[in-house]
Amino acid sequence: MLDFGPLQFVLARHFGFCYGVENAIEIAFKTVQENPGKRIFLLSEMIHNPQVNADLEAHGVIFLQDTFGKQAISFEELNADDIVIIPAFGTTLAIEKKLNDIGIQTQKYNTTCPFVEKVWNRSEVIAKKNYTIIIHGKPQHEETRATFSHAAAAAPSVVIKNMQEAIELAGYITGEKPGEQFYNEFAQQYSEGFDVKKDLQRIGVVNQTTMLASDTQAIADFLKQTMIEKYKLTVQNINGHFADTRDTLCYATNDNQSAVSGMLQVPADLAIIVGGYNSSNTSHLVELCEEKLPSYFISNEEKILSSNEILHFDLHNKMEKITHNYLPNKKPVRILLTSGASCPDALVEGVIRKITSYYNTDKTSEELINEFELN
């Protein structure tokens, strides 16, 4: 807790940049520094944070695609002397091959998060044991598109967005739903040549690393139980139809989500979550907070318009809106504060400074920081 007297901030135990994001940013800026005069491209957004991406653009980095894979610059305009940085989300095998065919080295400038690669490696392992890969993720997200590409190259694969789609998929596993209906219901979410009658007999569940860990676990447990009931399985023979893939959950996503769950046990008046609006991991932190108390999702301190107004992102309607009287008229006001894995700590500090400026505080933020450093 940062106790300013009339204002208190409760910070999550873990928040902000994870290892994968820090590593990706470090490689990107090092690439810029070491290659003066060269054209440097980013395949798509480095991470889902507008400040970081704007900083890279300011250093001359050019974006080839938007976050949904829409081409901004044609691959035909590239040549073998160009540098293309693969973002932290990874990329599809088809895009990697296209760049390699041009003569562009992708491995040297690949910033794919090691925990994303861990999902790919685990998928490959269970694919060799003839399991179909079920991917819990957002079908249009860069990471899920990349994971699907890698999984589909090794085994039949299908993407499911949520528990509702897991329930629908279970209907095809048990035979309660007609198989031909699958191809419409899961259009553009299954691999080429997918055979609904034979490819759902042995399955393993992996995830987009920024999904809610508890949601992925619940989906895996549900599908596991579906297989147990369908094939009358026991603990001894469950592996015949369901692969154990619990080790694909990202530690950073899990830690941030667990930290927010712990933070939410502290009584408070409101929560502020800082991060990019298209950040999957941040949106899940918002969802956790919204269940408990008034919550405001902002990208930076500039969204705090005054002590009376805040401009924040409405996850459900996908738009910004202004809320009045977000700070209650009481003392002390207690605010829960966290940020997503792609959010620089400086943005969180900016939020603290902005809100403390509205109060006659007992201590400055610098004094509180010094106290923490001394302890």
- Active-site residues, by number, are 143
Please give the Cα distance from 164 to 162 (Å, whole number).
5
DSSP code of 77? G
* Cβ atoms of residues 249 and 257 within 8 Å: no
Please give the Cα distance from 183 to 191 (Å, whole number).
11
The per-residue b/e assignment along 241-252, b for 16 or more CB within 10 angstroms, e otherwise, is: bbbebeebbbeb
- Beta bridge partner(s), residue 84: 41
- Structure tokens, 301: 């301190």
In this structure, the dihedral spanned by the alpha carbons of residues 288, 215, 277 and 368, taken in order and rounded to 10 degrees, is 40
* Cβ atoms of residues 7 and 355 within 8 Å: yes
Please give the Cα distance from 253 to 339 (Å, whole number).
12
